[in-house]
Amino acid sequence: TMSAAPSKSISPKDLISTLPTSSDDWCSGPLVLYKNYWLRSTVLERILLAQATIKPRDDDIILATQPKSGTTWLKALAFAITNRGRYGFGDHPLLTHHPHQLVLSIEFHGPGGDHTDLNALASPRLLSTHIPMSLLPPEMSPSSGRRVVYLCRDPKDTFVSRWHFDNKIFHGSTMELDKAYDLFCRGLSPYGPFWEHYLEYWKALATPNKVLFLKYEEIKEDSVRVVQKLAAFLRVPFSQEEESSGVPEEVARLCSFETLTSLQVNQVSVVNDHGDHRFPANSAFFRKGQVGDWANHMSREMGENMDQITKDRLKGSGLAF
């Protein structure tokens, strides 16, 4: 009999099989279009799982980014800031753990899909995500009172970083840069259209005191200032005493590209196999860590063209690069 099944009973796989598919592959395969975003089907599956099973808490703090805009750095900074009373800088967990092990992701948090590892964390939880704001579990969004730190980066550098990363993790199905560039500019990259992801979180700034919006470039320029800003937003501002004894500087140094890449744990190049999904090797999250590396891979014209697209897409928002 034909009965109108409630949408909740449709399995993620069945739902995904009904979605529009991109005609071009992004590395290993096509993307699917779900509520205005192009996603890898394996990623969408995990997003749907997160929506269905995560148990949000009022005091959760969400670190939201698009891949390759500095997630690893932000995780390290937020972890070091919020746990500074607990650990000394000489035996800090960041010296022996990859930042991804210390701040778990809502959608890629380890083995199994039941979120028990997230449920076991003490409050307030620091959680990270690449999920576009409109696809977050509703209770995890700034409009429901959740605090969100959003980090973004110049689209040109993010694109180049992404291209390197994806060619590394999907070895065997690599993409030419020109092809990836074309798809990215047309909005057909994972989590694309790229600019929409920025805009959704940018507009959430209208919710007072719930969103801190950061740029990779501003952390590069003055990481100590950002460390102070982040601490204030996370409601653990530095005391006068901490300021004068240089704690913000120590946090910035501990989380710097130089320090993190010097550590053995971050040089491990073995893929993390969680059984139901594979997580890229620790070392894959560190490459150059510079502003402007796009110029070593793209022509000036390609750069200008992408800048123009960025301008057009962000027009009127007040967000610019």
Catalytic residues, which ones? 130
Helix (H) or strand (E) holding 217: helix 216-221
How far apart CA 199 and CA 138 sit, in angstroms, is 18
Residue 69 contacts ligand A3P per CB under 6 A:
yes
Residue 189 contacts ligand A3P per CB under 6 A:
no
Cβ closer to ligand A3P: 139 or 293? 293
Residue 40 near residue 190 (C-beta atoms within 8 A): yes
Residue 164 contacts ligand A3P per CB under 6 A:
yes
How far apart CA 146 and CA 209 sit, in angstroms, is 10
**Contact string 70-109 vs ligand A3P (x = CB under 6 A):** xxxx------------------------------------
Residue 286 contacts ligand A3P per CB under 6 A:
yes
How is residue 45 annotated by DSSP?
H
Residue 228 contacts ligand A3P per CB under 6 A:
no
Cβ closer to ligand A3P: 196 or 293? 293
Strand duo 61-65 + 126-129: pairing? parallel
Shortest CA distance to 196 belongs to which of 38, 41, 302? 38
How far apart CA 312 and CA 155 sit, in angstroms, is 13
Residue 260 contacts ligand A3P per CB under 6 A:
yes
Question: By rule CB under 6 A, what count of residues binds ligand A3P?
Answer: 21
Helix (H) or strand (E) holding 178: helix 177-185
How far apart CA 190 and CA 39 sit, in angstroms, is 5
Residue 288 contacts ligand A3P per CB under 6 A:
yes
How far apart CA 241 and CA 129 sit, in angstroms, is 34
Pair of tokens at residue 296: 């070593």
Q: Which of 16, 32, 68, 214 binds ligand A3P (CB under 6 A)?
A: 68
Q: Which of 285, 302, 309, 310 binds ligand A3P (CB under 6 A)?
A: 285
Segment near ligand A3P (CB under 6 A), from 44-52, 170-178, 285-293, 298-306? Answer: 285-293
Residue 129 contacts ligand A3P per CB under 6 A:
no
Binding positions for ligand A3P, rule: CB under 6 A = 65, 67-73, 157, 161, 164, 255-257, 260, 285-289, 293
